[in-house]
Amino acid sequence: MLVLPSAILLFAFVLYPSGVAIYTSMTNLSLTGPAALNPRFIGFDNYTKLFSDHTFWRSLVITFWFVLFSAIIGQLVLGLLSAILLKRQFALRPFFNAIILMPNAVPGVVAALMWSSMLASGEYGTLNKIVAWFGVDPQRWLVTFPLSMIIVVNIWRGIGFAMILMNSGLSAISEELYEAARMDGATTWQAFRKITLPLLVPTIFLYLLVSTVTTIAIFALIYALTRGGPAGATEIVGIYIYNQSFGSYQLGYGSAIAVVLLIFSLIIGTFYVRALKVEV
Amino acid sequence: MKTKLMVSAIALASFGATNVWADTVRIAEHRQARIDALNAVVPMIEEQTGIDIEVIEYPGPDKEYISKLLTELRAGTGPDVFSLPSSGEIVDFSTAGYLVDVTAEVKGSDAWDNMFPIARELAETDGVIYTMPTMLAMQQFYFRNDVLTEAGVSTDQPADWDALINRAIEAKEKTGEYSLLMPMGVTWGGGTYIESFRLLLANSSTPELVTENGTFNLTSDGVREVFEFYQKMIEAEVVPVDPLLGPDPWVIPKYEMFPAGELLMTTCGSWCYIFDWGPESKNPIPDIENAVGTWKVPNVNGDAPSVLVNLNHPWMVSSSAVDIEASKKVLAAMGSIELMTSYAQKSGNLPSRADAIESDGFQQLTALVPLLDQLEDGRSVATAPGFSTVMEGIGRGSEALLLGNADAAGAQQILVDYVSNILGEDMVE
């Protein structure tokens, strides 16, 4: 009885929608046209089509690079550095703390609109005004370097969360360990490599689990900035699902992509959960 | 006691579920100018029909508007009465079962007998009517008469497509400004087809996309000619490419560059004289009737030019409307002269009723009155189920051209591949 409320919520908001998505992925359901009125059961046709759809594979590759550089490398490294930096006492500490955490308080669409103005082409774009001081011609940031730009924006958005998590991990490491290391003549780098990093591993894996899955599912930030363009250059798989379901109105096909993405996320999640049991 | 409470709750819930909106017809509208136009005539419609009306605001951009509408219609929770941006989308909605057949109500209304023939033609498909046409969008080329004249560039009607592109090149050479804009790319949404591709296609060697058996002829000479024209525009650098690749591609060229004289020719509709650059604009062009002129769309081979006409936001009744009869009654009342005049004043489109142009309200719109003479030359391009996918494919093909990722043949292939992938190869000729 104690788990019944949780079980009901889990069924209503996770299992039932997943079941509907799996069933829909086996139909030709569309939002418009005759297939909206009379959808047909088509078995695994959508999956067969999916595996030969080069746009889908391209979107998976884009998603991989996006997650790797923004969540796994960018946010993690900068989040960890920020946490280490802000652990020390210095005059502007609260100021830096606020700067790093502020992007988390801004809604995704608002952040995207802000960056849209920052990265605008032509002489009116804020970034172009900045680089003009150094004699650089105006750039088409979201056209020439679209994926790099959304990676930068997403790193900016996510450092705060990484920092908070890393900070909690660092706080759990006893100062006595560092003191003992110092007495044994360990350098700062050796202390970081032999004490901080190994003891942070569970926190790092927890962060990677959360950030990987949430970054794969990012939508609003990219949709508002580039709509997945230009020419699909930033069409991560979440945007591809939206474009198939609400741009081309193919709900059945969009559901098939969503189901495949669910499977990928489960595999990644399982990998991280197993890794979390690592002995330090 | 518990049983009584439960029975009461269920009764209340079922009462609420069925009757909460029964005396109110909910009309979906989007964009402030259109909302203002509708709100101005709501009291009159309520008085005429005895039905309360609630105007519900929807997202502004057409793509987001249609997505929200479709999601709600699919769930059976949509508005009772709504409109679609153009005639092109109607067939995809009617075949999905979202629309109510309103043939009797529309044909029985005062509006029908007074409508321009092209409005009646566009509203009726195989003898069935799903929409009350209220406004017509007439599209052609608009140019900065003042800037071109000052630069010594001819403002005569271009004879064919070559003359048009040469005029654009000459204008750029003499003024240094971008000279020709046609909506292209994915982010312009349906406008890439409706305000651009369609205009050229209707005046190409093969002016139709839909074959007799309902498939799409995307490998036609006409489609290739349109993409080739786009390619020439891009290669000649007469079109401002950067803004077309942004998330709101119309804002900079239409609302900033053209009023500033930094863009000299563009496709547009009658609304541009009122909404984009006229009295309802935030950035109006002074003395617009003299500063901005119009050309019909030239034919690729130099045949007679034409303007493109389609229904603009025709109204329809949802098949999941709470009270279909009340909604039909409201729809019939929406064919009034007052509603058409209100929308003409706020958004700049043309009334579909010939008798509406005699009204004082419309006669004050001096920029629009002369355009009515061109309605007789108006043309349209037929659509078929699946057309939304074709429009998206045209956006993708033209975006590849903008990015330099494909030439005209490559862009046409992108269109063919996209539509074949989504609708199946048997839907593409």
**Is the Cβ–Cβ distance between B174 and B152 less than 8 Å?**
yes
Q: Which residue has the tokens 């078929």?
A: B384
pLDDT of B137 higher than 50: yes
Vertex A190 angle, CA A186 and A194, to 5°: 110
Please tell me the distance from the alpha carbon of residue B305 to that of residue B140, in angstroms, as a whole number: 10
Pick from B95, B187, B392: CB nearest A34: B95
pLDDT of residue B100: 94
pLDDT of residue B4: 56
- Which pLDDT tens digit goes with each residue over B169-201? 999 999 999 999 999 998 888 889 999 999 999
- Closest to A254 measured CA to CA, from A42, A25, A2: A25
Cα B6 from chain centroid (whole Å)? 51
Say whether B186 and A227 touch across the interface (CB within 8 A). yes
Which residues of B are less than 8 Å from A247 in CB distance? 63, 392
Q: Do domains B24-133+311-372 and B138-307+383-427 have the same CATH topology?
A: yes
Nearest-neighbour CA in chain A from B419: distance (Å): 9
A positions 193-222 inside 8 Å of B (CB): none
Task: For chain B, say whether A225 makes contact (Cβ under 8 Å).
Answer: yes
| DSSP-assigned letter for residue B26 | E
Task: For chain A, say whether B186 makes contact (Cβ under 8 Å).
Answer: yes
- Pairwise pLDDT comparison (B16 vs A116), residue with the higher score: A116
Averaged over B9-35, what is the pLDDT? 68
pLDDT of residue B18: 44
Cis peptide before A230 (omega within 30 of 0): yes
Task: Sort strands B131-132 and B128-129 into parallel, antiparallel or unpaired.
Answer: unpaired
Q: Which residue has the tokens 């034409």?
A: B306
- Closest to A28 measured CA to CA, from B232, B422, B289, B85: B422
Say whether B245 and A229 touch across the interface (CB within 8 A). yes
Averaged over B82-93, what is the pLDDT? 84
Token reading at B186: 């994915």
What distance, in Å, lies between the first and last C-alpha atoms of chain A?
37
Q: How confident is the model at residue A275 (pLDDT cuts 50, 70, 90)?
A: confident
Which residues of B are less than 8 Å from A120 in CB distance? 246
Superfamily name and number for B24-133+311-372: Periplasmic binding protein-like II (3.40.190.10)
- Which pLDDT tens digit goes with each residue over A190-221? 988 888 889 998 899 889 888 998 898 889 88
**Is the Cβ–Cβ distance between B65 and B78 less than 8 Å?**
no
Q: How confident is the model at residue A246 (pLDDT cuts 50, 70, 90)?
A: confident
CATH number of B138-307+383-427: 3.40.640.10, 3.50.30.50, 3.40.190.10, 3.40.50.170?
3.40.190.10
For residue A267, the tally of other CB atoms under 10 A from its CB is 10
- Pairwise pLDDT comparison (B83 vs A279), residue with the higher score: B83
- Which pLDDT tens digit goes with each residue over A40-89? 888 888 998 888 888 899 999 999 999 999 988 999 999 999 998 888 88
DSSP string spanning B48-84?
Answer: HH--EEEEEEE-SSHHHHHHHHHHHHHHT---SEEE-
pLDDT of residue B281: 84
Q: How confident is the model at residue B19 (pLDDT cuts 50, 70, 90)?
A: very low
Please tell me the distance from the alpha carbon of residue B113 to that of residue A11, in angstroms, as a whole number: 57
pLDDT of residue A175: 87
pLDDT of residue B15: 45
pLDDT of residue B12: 47
Share of chain B above pLDDT 90, in %: 53
pLDDT of B14 higher than 80: no
- Domains annotated on chain A, with CATH: 54-276 (1.10.3720.10)
Highest average pLDDT, of A185-189, B203-207, B373-377, comes from: B203-207
Please tell me the distance from the alpha carbon of residue B43 to that of residue B27, in angstroms, as a whole number: 13
Say whether B399 and A230 touch across the interface (CB within 8 A). yes
- Closest to B307 measured CA to CA, from B339, B278, B338, B350: B350
Pick from B93, B403, B422: CB nearest A250: B422
Please tell me the distance from the alpha carbon of residue B115 to that of residue B129, in angstroms, as a whole number: 14
- 3-state SS track over chain A: CCCHHHHHHHHHHHHHHHHHHHHHCCECCCCCCHHHHCCCECCCHHHHHHHCCHHHHHHHHHHHHHHHHHHHHHHHHHHHHHHHHHHCCCCCHHHHHHHHHHHHHCCHHHHHHHHHHHCCCCCCCHHHHHHHCCCCCCCCHHHHCHHHHHHHHHHHHHHHHHHHHHHHHHHCCCHHHHHHHHHCCCCHHHHHHHHHHHHHHHHHHHHHHHHHHHHHCCCHHHHHHCCCCCCCCCCCHHHHHHHHHHHCCCHHHHHHHHHHHHHHHHHHHHHHHHHHCCCC
pLDDT of B330 higher than 90: yes
Q: Is B28 helix (H, G, I), strand (E, B) or coil?
A: strand
Please return the burial class of A19, using the count of CB atoms within 10 Å of its CB with bins 0-12, 13-18 and 19+: exposed
Please tell me the distance from the alpha carbon of residue B21 to that of residue A3, in angstroms, as a whole number: 39
CA atoms within 13 A of residue B290's CA, in its CB half-sphere: 4
pLDDT of A33 higher than 50: yes
**Is the Cβ–Cβ distance between B39 and B54 less than 8 Å?**
no
The set of residues, in sequence order, having a beta carbon less than 8 Å from that of B392 and lying 6+ positions away, is A247, A248, B186, B418
pLDDT of A171 higher than 70: yes
pLDDT of B229 higher than 90: yes
pLDDT of residue A278: 55
**Is the Cβ–Cβ distance between B280 and B348 less than 8 Å?**
yes
Which residues of A are less than 8 Å from B70 in CB distance? 31-32, 246, 249
- Closest to B148 measured CA to CA, from B49, B312, B273, B265: B265
Say whether B70 and A142 touch across the interface (CB within 8 A). no
**Is the Cβ–Cβ distance between B72 and B78 less than 8 Å?**
yes
Mean pLDDT of chain B: 88
- Closest to B242 measured CA to CA, from A136, A224, A121: A121
pLDDT of residue B238: 96
pLDDT of A258 higher than 90: yes
pLDDT of A239 higher than 50: yes
Q: Complex ipTM, two decimals?
A: 0.75
pLDDT of residue B6: 53
pLDDT of residue B5: 52
- Which pLDDT tens digit goes with each residue over B310-328? 888 999 999 999 999 999 9
Which residues of A are less than 8 Å from B318 in CB distance? none
Please tell me the distance from the alpha carbon of residue A222 to that of residue A234, in angstroms, as a whole number: 8
Task: For chain A, say whether B402 makes contact (Cβ under 8 Å).
Answer: yes
Cα B409 from chain centroid (whole Å)? 27
pLDDT of residue B347: 82
pLDDT of residue B3: 53
Segments making up each domain of chain B, as ranges:
24-133+311-372, 138-307+383-427
pLDDT of residue B271: 86
Q: How confident is the model at residue B21 (pLDDT cuts 50, 70, 90)?
A: very low
Q: How confident is the model at residue A280 (pLDDT cuts 50, 70, 90)?
A: very low
- What crossing angle do the helices spanning B324-333 and B32-49 adopt, rounded to 10°? 110
Token reading at A210: 């959360």
Share of chain B above pLDDT 70, in %: 95
